[in-house]
Amino acid sequence: MTPIIGISAGKILSSNQLVRISLIDKYIHAVQNAGGIPIILPTGLNQAQIRELVERLDGVLLTGGGDIQPERFDGAYNSRISDVDPLRDDLEIELTLEAYRTQKPLFAICRGHQVVNVAFGGTLITDIEAQLPNAQRHDWYPDIARDYEAHQIQILANSKLAKIIGSDQVTVNSLHHQAVKEVASGLIVSAYAPDMVIEALEKPDHPFLISVQWHPEWMQAKPAMQNLFKALIQATMK
């Protein structure tokens, strides 16, 4: 049977003041192109519903979006913190923990990468420019093409990520102003930017729990980025 992948979604307030469930279609296309069936997961689900969903799903994809509530990781306040949605935090943190408990494959992107770290007890840099003044630019948005290749990353040679990408270096886009700070216990770093900002995490005691800071869904023309979504689908079949 075709694997069913639950994709986390956010919310937006439309011009007529209606709240809409929001998800950029690139994530849906990436899952479909890799051979999966995408199912959109809305905010507002309770813990029991999330647990039942994960039991029924074959895999989970955490997507990009607004910032995580700083109170969840004792984060420093910064005026650039935006689009905070506690209900989305609830959804994605619980999805992460349930995917770990059930050993279901989970792939996390950008905000999702940060959610994974927070879910397991790690912390975040709430604004790279303010807290890492010597770092390179990572917030190549909003007026720049989302597939703009901003910088190269170094992937640890023995990581799952290196096996999936097929190289220990790859050039990525960069659409974030926050980053992983203290890595949660039980997670390992599998890639760094040239300025040592953490670009990927893995959970060694899980068959497939991988997070990346960049946005591979916008770079699907590249085989290395396609491989990430294919690996998620393949992991559901093991």
Whether 105 has a pLDDT exceeding 90, the answer reads yes
- Residue in the structure block whose two tokens are 């075709």: 2
Whether 15 has a pLDDT exceeding 90, the answer reads no
* CB 2, CB 35: distance < 8 Å: yes
Amino acid identity at 62: L
Extended strands (E) in the chain: 4-8, 10-13, 19-22, 37-41, 59-62, 106-109, 124-125, 151-155, 169-172, 179-180, 188-192, 198-202, 209-212
The 10s digit of each residue's pLDDT in 141-167 is 999 999 999 999 999 999 999 999 999
Which pLDDT band, with edges at 50, 70 and 90, does 124 fall under?
A: very high
Q: Which helix (H) or strand (E) holds 25?
A: helix 25-34
Return the structure tokens found at 114.
């940060």
Which residues are bridge partners to 180 per DSSP? Answer: 124
* Closest of 79, 72, 75, 120 to residue 96, by C-alpha: 120
Whether 120 has a pLDDT exceeding 90, the answer reads yes
Instruction: Give the CA count within 13 Å in the CB-facing half-sphere of 92.
Output: 34
pLDDT at residue 86, as a whole number? 96
* CB 97, CB 90: distance < 8 Å: no
pLDDT at residue 13, as a whole number? 85
For each of the domains in the chain, give its residue range(s) and CATH number, in order of start. Answer: 4-235 (3.40.50.880)
* CB 115, CB 62: distance < 8 Å: yes
The 10s digit of each residue's pLDDT in 171-229 is 999 999 999 999 999 999 999 999 999 999 999 999 999 999 999 999 999 999 999 99
The 10s digit of each residue's pLDDT in 21-76 is 999 999 999 999 999 999 999 999 999 999 999 999 999 999 999 999 999 999 99
Question: Rounded to whole angstroms, how far apart are CA atoms 52 and 46?
Answer: 10
Whether 238 has a pLDDT exceeding 90, the answer reads no
pLDDT at residue 52, as a whole number? 97
Which pLDDT band, with edges at 50, 70 and 90, does 125 fall under?
A: very high
* Closest of 137, 150, 121, 152 to residue 218, by C-alpha: 150
- Reduced to 3 states (helix: H, G, I; strand: E, B; else coil), residue 212 is strand
Return the structure tokens found at 110.
């950008």
* CB 122, CB 187: distance < 8 Å: yes
pLDDT at residue 14, as a whole number? 84
